[in-house]
A and B are shown apart, each in its own frame.
Chain A
């Protein structure tokens, strides 16, 4: 017997920066960056966060700058 094709509804991910129209990702904006560093303080991958490539790049840069200045952690121990 053929198995019925499962229909999946997955919430469509949208890039936060496109949706909120943020063009300049500031390394000083800790509150914003914190949304992209989960518990272990790693940078949240695009495949999870839904951020588009155009915005993931400056986001990554901003997170690294903020880390250097000890605004956000490199890791949690």
Chain B
């Protein structure tokens, strides 16, 4: 069993609904090729780190795929994405080997995960600690006087480790 992640970035001028239908197309292709969709994430509109074709934003979509060896339509999906000029970027990553090596699950990332975490944090009742009151005047810190000459600090050392 192999698992893959397929992420693609769509032109932001494409409507959200259309992004979902595009994703549905690809999902159909993948399932028709004998693989399963194990998850999806719609990150929505996100600022690009650098402009692509003079556009500074993109809509991110992520598919999780699992399939038996040899039963995958991913090359066809990639081919279709390459031909679709509404797709700025796509990336397929095979994840099973790296995830197996990693004993611990990686943390979930992305806007959906952030939202979940925020909800969790706001659900916890932190209780009312009340007002901490006035901290009062810190008073005069006084004159520390002249600190004098600092002396020779030596040259710089370029050793790697001490």
Q: Residue on A with the closest CB to B5?
A: A28
> Main SS of the interface on chain A?
loop
Contact present for A23 and B109 (CB under 8 Å): no
Give Cα A24 to B98, complex, Å. 7
Q: How many A-B residue pairs have CB under 8 A?
A: 63
Which A residues touch B157, using CB under 8 A?
6, 8
Which B residues touch A74, using CB under 8 A?
49-50
Contact present for B161 and A72 (CB under 8 Å): no
A41: min CB distance to chain B, Å: 8
Instruction: Return the 6 tightest CB-CB contacts between A and B, nearest first.
Output: A23-B102, A24-B102, A8-B162, A70-B48, A24-B106, A73-B49
Q: Give the interface of A toward B (CB within 8 A).
A: 6, 8-10, 21-24, 26-31, 47, 58, 65, 67-75
A29: min CB distance to chain B, Å: 4
Known contacts A22-B106, A23-B104: A28-B7 contact under CB 8 Å: yes
Q: Residue on B with the closest CB to A4?
A: B154
Contact of A68 among B58, B62, B91, B110 (CB under 8 A): B91
B97: min CB distance to chain A, Å: 11
Number of interface residues of B (CB under 8 A): 30
Known contacts A24-B102, A29-B107: A73-B7 contact under CB 8 Å: no
Give Cα A21 to B107, complex, Å. 11
Contact of A69 among B91, B98, B154 (CB under 8 A): B91
Give Cα A30 to B47, complex, Å. 12
Give Cα A68 to B52, complex, Å. 11
Q: Residue on B with the closest CB to A11?
A: B162
Give Cα A65 to B7, complex, Å. 11
Offer 18 A-B interface pairs, CB within 8 angstroms, sorted by A.
Answer: A6-B157, A10-B161, A23-B101, A23-B106, A24-B101, A24-B106, A26-B109, A28-B7, A31-B109, A47-B160, A58-B98, A69-B7, A69-B9, A70-B48, A70-B49, A73-B50, A74-B49, A74-B50
With an 8 A cutoff between CB atoms, is B22 at the interface?
no
Which B residues touch A24, using CB under 8 A?
98-99, 101-102, 104-106
Give Cα A24 to B146, complex, Å. 55
